[in-house]
Chain A
Amino acid sequence: MAAKTIKVDYLARVEGEGALHVKLRGDRVEDVKLRIFEPPRLFEAFLRGRRIEEAPDITARICGICPVAYQMSAVHAIERALGVTVDPAVRLLRRLIYCGEWIESHALHVYMLHAPDFLGYEDAIEMARDHKETVEQGLRLKKIGNDLMAVLGGREIHPISACLGGFYRVPSKSELLALVEDLKWALEASVATARFVAGFEFPDFEQDYEFVALSHPDEYPLNEGRLVSNKGLDIDVSEYEEHFFEQHAKHSNALQSQLRKRGSYLVGPLARYNLNFSKLTPIAQQTACECKAEPPCLNPFKSIVVRAIELVFACEEALRIIDEYEPPAAPRVDVPVRAGAGQAITEAPRGILYHRYEFDGEGTIRSAKIVPPTSQNQRRIEDDLWQFVPRIAARPVEEITWRCEQAVRNYDPCISCATHFLRMEIVRE
C-alpha cells in the first residue's frame, strides 16, 4: 500500500515556529514528528551573571503571550529561596494580574486560534465575515484581560511592575473598581462563549491521560499549590526534577519532558480542570454543568470548552479579588540578599511553568532552569496524533492535514516558550 505523508511545514495559529510530519501507510501511522525550528535564544545561559532582581524582566521576554507567568514563576522561586513572605494584598494582586493574562490568552486562543478550526475558517478575520459579533465579542474579552494587566503592570506585553517582594506600584481601590463594569460584561460574555463552543462538533476521541497540575486546598490554582496528578503524583514543587526528566525520543529530535516510569503527561486547562473542578468558582461550575462538560473530560478537542470555562472562572475570580482588595501598607517587602536556591511552579495559561534558580551571596544568578508547558506537552501531542490519525486516515490529505493541525492546536502550543529547551532540527528548505 502506498505511503501517504502529511506535511505541515509551518504550523499556523500557534505561537512560534514549528512543523508537523505524519507518515501513513494505509490507515497505519508509521511516524509522527512535531518539529521545532524556532531558533534557540539561550536564556538559561545568559541568566548566569545577572542579578536576581532582573530575572522576572528577563524571563518575561521568553514569551510575549504569557509574560506574567514567567514573572510569577521567577519571583516565587527566588522569594522561596530567600524565605520572603509577601503582604496578603500583594498575593491577591499577583493572582489578579494572572487572571488578566488568562483572560487575554484564553480569549486569543478560543476565538482567534482554535474556533476557526471547528467552523472551517482559515482564521478569525475570515470568520468575522460570517460571525462578526462573535469575533467582536472575543476581541472585547481579550481587551478586558489586557486592560486588567495594564492597570496592574503598566502594559499587557512585558508588564513592568512585578518585582521580588511585590510590585513597584500597586493600584488604588478606585483604579480597580473602574474595571468592574467591564469584568461583569466579560463574565457574561465568557458564559456565552462556553455555550457557543460547547455546541461545536467534536471528534469522538478520548485518551487515558495523566493530568498534571497544581492543586491548592482553598482555590483554583494559579500561583501556588502542590503538584498532583490523577495517577498518584502528589509532591512539593521542589521535588519536580526528581519526578520528571527529559528524554531524547525515538521519533523526534526534540527533548521531551516525561514522568519517570510513566511517560507522557498533559498539562494545561484540561489537567487543571479535571484535578480541581471542585475549586472552580460557582458560575464556572454551573456553566460546566450546563455545557455537559463535567469532569472527567478526556477529549482533548473539548479543551476549547474548558478554556471557556476557565475564562468564566478568571472573570469571577478577578471580580472577587477587586471586591476584597485593600491596598497593602507598602507595595513590596524588603528582600534580603544572601546565597540560595529555590524552585517554583505556577499555572501559565498553557500549563505548569517550572523555574529553578541558584544564586550567590551577592544575588548573582549562578544557574537557572526553566521548563515551559509546551515542552511538557510536546510528547503528549505526538501521542495524541499516533492515536488520532488512524481514525481519519481514509479521508483526503487536505482534510487529514487540517485535523492534525487542529489536534496540535488543542494544546495551544507556544513554541517560542518551548524553544530554549527543545532540541531543534531545521526542516525548512
Chain B
Amino acid sequence: MSSEKKKPKIAVFKFASCDGCQLSLLDAEDELLAVAGAVDIAYFPEASRRALKGPYDIGLVEGSITTHHDAERIQKVRRQCAVLVTIGACATAGGIQALRNWSDKDEYVRAVYARPDFIQTLKMSTPIAEHVPVDFELRGCPINKKHLIELISATLAGRKPNIPTHSLCMKCKRSGNVCITIARGVPCLGPVTQSGCGALCPRFGRGCYGCYGPAESANTAAMTRMLRELGQKDEEIARLFRTFNAWAWQFRQASEEAERA
C-alpha cells in the first residue's frame, strides 16, 4: 500500500471537446499498462468509475471553456493540480467551437435548438490559459499520443518535455517530402503550423490545414501573401486560418486581416 501511495496521481478533466485527445491515452495501447503501473490514474471518468479526490500531481485538461459553470470548474481544477497541462486544440486554442466568437451566439443557439432558453452557454469559446495559468500546452487536433507519453514521462522525471515547436515545413524538409506548394501549387499552412502530426497531409498529397496551430514565430503575413499568389481569395484565406485553432492569436489576426482586406 505504501508504494501505491507514493505513485504520482494523474487526473483527466473534460470541458467542451470531442473526447479524442483523452482517447489518445487509451490509444497508447503499447504503453497504457506501463503508464498505469508507473502512475496512479486517479480520476479519468471516460475509462473508470473510480474517482479519487485531489490534489493531483498532473492534471490533463481537454476542451475549451464555453459555460459559466465550466469557467468556475476550471478554477477548482487548477487548485487541485500541481502541474496543469492542456491537451489539444480545444483546451489550447478554443477549438472549432470558437467559430462562435465571430458570430451572434444567440442566433447560433436558435439555429440548433428548438428551445434556446434552455441552453446555457457563453458567447465565446476560450482556451484554458485565458482562465488559469497553464504549465504546458500539448498541441493538435488531435494531440499526438507519443507527445502525451513523452509529456507524462518528462513531468515524472522533472525535465522539460522534448516536443518540437518548429514548423511543419521543417518536418517536411527533414523527411524529404516533395513540397506540394512548390511542385503542385497546393495551398498549405505548413510554413506557419507547428509540427507534431508527422507532416501527414503533405504526405497524403493535401495541404496542411493547421491542426497543430501556429508554430513559434509564425509569419502569417508572408503566408497570406503566398496564398494570394496561389490564387486564393481573401475569404478563402480567412477560412483557411479559421478552423480548429481559429482563436490562437496568430491565426485569429491573420483571418481577421484577410477578412478586412
Contact = CB atoms under 8 A, between A and B. Distances in A.
Contacts of B80: none
Contacts of A128: 33, 36
Contacts of B209: 57
B115 interface: yes
Nearest to B108: A45
A41 B200 CA distance: 27
Q: How large is the interface on A (under 10, 10 to 19, 20 to 34, 35 or more residues)?
A: 35 or more
Nearest to A37: B69
Interface string A387-415: 00000000000000010010000000010
A13 B18 contact: no
A171 B260 CA distance: 42
A113 B23 CA distance: 12
A249 to B, nearest CB: 13
Nearest to A367: B111
B201 A160 contact: yes
B170 interface: no
Contacts, number: 195
Contacts of B114: 246, 248, 255
B252 interface: no
Q: How large is the interface on B (under 10, 10 to 19, 20 to 34, 35 or more residues)?
A: 35 or more
Contacts of B44: 123
Nearest to B144: A155
Contact of A61 (B29, B103, B244): B244
Given A39-B66, A48-B111, A64 B48 contact: no
Contact of B96 (A41, A253, A421): A41
A421 B243 CA distance: 21
Interface string B12-23: 001111111101
Contacts of A112: 26, 47
A95 interface: no
Contacts of B21: 64, 157
A135 interface: yes
B112 A50 contact: no
A155 B33 CA distance: 22
A124 interface: yes
Contacts of B67: 39, 426
Contacts of B113: 40, 255, 423
Nearest to B32: A139
Contacts of B197: 155
Given A142-B29, A157-B24, A40 B112 contact: yes
Given A40-B112, A161-B204, A64 B18 contact: yes
A63 interface: yes
B190 interface: no
Interface in A11-48: 11-17, 38-46, 48
A320 interface: no
A426 B120 contact: yes
A421 B112 CA distance: 7
Given A64-B21, A157-B23, A423-B119, 13 more contacts: A16-B19, A39-B16, A44-B112, A48-B111, A61-B18, A61-B96, A63-B19, A64-B17, A65-B19, A65-B23, A128-B33, A143-B29, A428-B69
21 contacts: A17-B14, A39-B66, A40-B109, A40-B119, A41-B16, A41-B95, A42-B112, A44-B111, A45-B111, A61-B244, A64-B142, A140-B29, A142-B27, A155-B142, A157-B23, A160-B200, A160-B204, A248-B114, A248-B115, A423-B113, A428-B69
Interface of A: 10-17, 38-46, 48, 50-51, 54, 57-58, 61-65, 67, 108, 112-113, 122-126, 128, 132, 135-136, 139-140, 142-143, 146, 154-158, 160-161, 163, 168-169, 246, 248, 253, 255, 331, 402, 405, 414, 416, 420-421, 423-426, 428
Give the 3 A-B CB pairs with smallest separation, nearest first: A64-B20, A123-B48, A45-B108
